[in-house]
Amino acid sequence: MSSHQNAEQRADLRHDWTRDEVLALFDKPFNDLLFEAQTAHRRYFDPNEVQQSELLSIKTGGCPEDCGYCSQSAKFETGLKASKLMEVEKVLTEARKAKERGATRYCMGAAWRSPKDRDLDAVCAMIEGVKEMGMEACVTLGMLDAVQAKRLREAGLDYYNHNIDTGRDYYTDIITTRTFDDRIDTLSHVREAGIHVCSGGIIGMGEQQKDRADMLMELANLDEHPESVPINSLMKVGGTPLGEVEDLDPLEFVRTIAVAKIMMPASMVRLSAGREHMSDELQALCFLAGANSIFVGDKLLTTDNPGEDHDKTLLRRLGMKPMAAHTAAPEVKPESTPQVAPSHAAE
């Protein structure tokens, strides 16, 4: 398929969603919603492939932000000890191990409000080393300006992660030290630099369904959809403001995955933080709803993750296989066309 044909076929991706339309998706009967999401997913992806990333905290704790969910904030007493930026070779040693375990994307996270220019020297060396191993490179470093984004791209960065966390109206209930528009500005700098965007949010922070709808609407209505959309289930940490929040209905989490896939079908939707507390059956429903990316390894930045053996066993039971490393957006499959499940509900 030519790039021109692919561009034409991808032109039906929408960027004009309204809240009412998104809430109508959330309100669909569960089976109809999953059917529509899986159909949209098959248009762009092999439904039996899953992209595997590994995540390393290259600078932990001491962050000046007050994100209410975060164990790394200096404003909360969580028992986490702050550390300095890791040495380049130590990071690359961990990256080699990750590749041996089957990861095709290596993600590096630093607990900064925004990186200092001197810090970028080491981060760029890490990116270059990961790329030399044949893996995709992703970093999350906080807010970026345009010059910093360009520098990361020149080092070969494939993806920059910067989550918007929640809907615009609920945002100030979670974070006060940076604005929602600060996050959108960083995404703009990343996109303009030619880096793929990785942006999603956290579910189960006490928000309402309309806030989840607003979060997905913000992402889907960007000029270009994020190539990667991580959907995190809140990992409650003692000492943070959200450490005692009420648990979210697991099926509402699956609905959020499905709605994200319907709205952004050409994006990889990552079943991200929280898998440690999900049953195999719940994860299988998320894959059915269109999730096709996971973090592997025993740990995320500071929280637990299912072990390598468990993930391999689960994927084998589901007949799923690892996705090869690639940085280009997927091509629509011409032989597949979206369908809508027969339904008594006309919303």
Contact 233, 253 (CB under 8 A): yes
Catalytic choice (138, 151, 178, 286): 138
Q: Is residue 124 annotated as a catalytic residue, yes or no?
A: no
What is the Cα–Cα distance from 328 to 270, expressed in whole angstroms?
17
Catalytic choice (151, 178, 183, 198): 198
Q: Is residue 138 annotated as a catalytic residue, yes or no?
A: yes
Which residue shows structure tokens 């991200």? 272
* Number of CB atoms found within 10 A of residue 208's CB: 11
Catalytic choice (107, 151, 178, 183): 107
Strand partners, 227: none
Catalytic choice (43, 183, 255, 270): 270
Q: Is residue 63 annotated as a catalytic residue, yes or no?
A: yes
Catalytic choice (42, 43, 63, 275): 63
Catalytic choice (43, 70, 178, 255): 70
What is the Cα–Cα distance from 293 to 317, expressed in whole angstroms?
17
Can you list the positions of beta strands (E) in 146-267? 159-161, 196-198, 201-203, 228-233
Write the DSSP symbol of residue 334: T
H helices of 200-279, in order, are: 209-220, 250-263
Angle at 296 between CA 291 and CA 302, to 5 degrees: 110
What is the Cα–Cα distance from 137 to 65, expressed in whole angstroms?
25
Query: Annotated active-site positions, please?
Result: 63, 67, 70, 107, 138, 198, 270
